[in-house]
Amino acid sequence: MENQKKVMLSGIQPSGDLHLGNYLGAIKNWGARAEAFDCYYFMADMHTITVRQTPADLRRRTLEQLAQYIACGLDPEKNVLFVQSHVHQHAELGWVLNCYTMFGELSRMTQFKDKSAKNADNINGGLFTYPALMAADILLYQPDFVPVGEDQKQHVELTRNVAQRFNHIYGDVFKVPEPYIPKAGARVMGLTVPENKMSKSIPEGCVFLMEKPEDIQRKFKRAVTDSDTERCVRYDPEQKPGVSNLMQIYAACTGRTLDQIEAEFDGRGYGAFKPAVGEAVIELLRPIREEAARLLSDKAYLEQVCRTGAERASYVAEKTLRKVYKKVGFLAR
């Protein structure tokens, strides 16, 4: 019987370490998706080279990210996990879709403007045309849904436009995917600037999944609270953003409600509260860190996951690419 599951796809650049905000805000819920969807997750290493990379670091981060995703609950038996550059159809369809993506569309991409400003000495062609590769990444697998945050909606809209343009010319080739807005996880703010989301760009306020317990605890002990003289643990995002952020983190780690947390630390002050939050985070991340470290010590296993994932992905991608090549008039191989 044909599998009736809807298809979902997401690509992630191995450009830095995963952190607590990534986990509580999104990744924590990904494992459960495999029950409802056929899920494809890839390490978007081809996209990372629009910005100069140290080759050895890119290879290391790609494997580390794969290990961390598995440790966070993405079972390679239930999800297709693969490295983008291992599936040659991405680059091939990327070129074809370059020829069906308009210059004006690409020039309006906000990420091109942002990255050009940050990398003024390396405004390369890939930086400009990578949305066409992103469209290929998606359309190869004929997904029903693409999970997106606010910063990626523009790319999914472009992908839909390119798919509709191609289909209008050649008939029903691509499924036009819908953006999938995931159920919101915990919104984790930075420990040093609680008005902003936790980000690896401010490492002293960011807790990384693979960080040592003593370093995590040190960051929480130094976390910004407020100048309130009563120093009470009370949820008030307007007046006490630092404390409120710590309460939300503690709630996400322990399952306690905000009222229960207020009662637990009533009269105890920040000196007891901040280390308790640190300890809760350490215990939440401990099994992930230990499992990721175990996986990284078994490089042969991770390489096997890459091979198997690439084979499964290539099988699906090749069917789409063959159809596209025939439609545009390429001679069959």
DSSP 85: G
Torsions phi, psi of 189, nearest 5?
A: -100, 165
User: Could you tell me the fold of the domain covering 6-186+299-328?
Assistant: Rossmann fold (3.40.50)
| Measured distance CA(216)–CA(205) in Å, rounded | 10
| C-alpha span between 26 and 315 (Å, rounded) | 28
Q: What is the pLDDT of residue 43?
A: 94
181: which DSSP letter? -
Q: Are strands 178-180 and 79-83 parallel, antiparallel or unpaired?
A: unpaired
Grouping H, G, I as helix, E, B as strand and the rest as coil, residue 96 is helix
pLDDT means over runs of 10, the chain (333 residues) = 78 86 86 92 93 93 94 95 98 97 89 74 86 96 86 85 98 94 78 91 93 96 81 88 94 93 91 95 96 96 98 98 98 91
Name every residue whose Cβ is closer than 8 Å to that of residue 44 and which is 6 or more positions away in sequence. 11, 12, 13, 14, 84, 137
Helix (H) or strand (E) holding 24: helix 20-25
The predicted pLDDT at position 228 comes to: 67
Nearest in space to 68 (alpha carbons), one of 15, 27, 26: 27
CATH number for 203-293 (one of 1.10.287.470, 2.102.10.10, 3.40.50.300, 1.10.240.10): it is 1.10.240.10
Rounded to the nearest 5 percent, the helix, strand and coil shares of the chain are 55, 10, 35
pLDDT at residue 185, as a whole number: 66
pLDDT at 299: 95
Give the span between the Cα atoms of 182 and 25, in whole angstroms: 10
For 166-187, how does the pLDDT look when each residue is reduced to its tens digit (9 = 90+)? Answer: 999 999 999 999 988 776 667 8
Side-chain half-sphere of 200: how many Cα atoms within 13 Å? 12
What are the catalytic residues? 115, 197, 200
Task: State pLDDT tens for residues 23-37.
Answer: 998 888 888 899 999
Among 37, 41, 31, 34, which residue's Cα sits nearest to residue 11? Answer: 41
Whole-number pLDDT of residue 173: 97
Q: Is 87 helix (H, G, I), strand (E, B) or coil?
A: coil
Strands, sheet with 37-43, edge to edge from the N-terminal-most edge strand: 79-83, 37-43, 6-12, 145-147, 178-180
Query: What is the reported pLDDT for 1?
Result: 40
DSSP assignments along 207-219, one per residue: -BTT--HHHHHHH
- Give 44: exposed, middle or buried? Use CB within 10 Å, 0-12, 13-18, 19+: buried
The string of DSSP letters for 115-143 reads HHHHTTT---HHHHHHHHHHHHHHHTT--
Using the Cα atoms of residue 180, residue 183, residue 184 and residue 186 in order, give the sign of their dihedral: negative
Angle at 280 between CA 277 and CA 282, to 5 degrees: 110
Amino acid residing at 5 = K
Task: State residue 184's pLDDT score.
Answer: 62
Backbone angles phi, psi at 82, to 5 degrees: -155, 165
Domain chopping of the chain, boundaries: 6-186+299-328, 203-293
- CB count within 10 Å of CB 12 equals 17
Q: What residues does 83 pair with on adjacent strands? A: 43
Look up residue 264 and give its amino acid: E
Rounded to two decimals, the pTM is 0.86
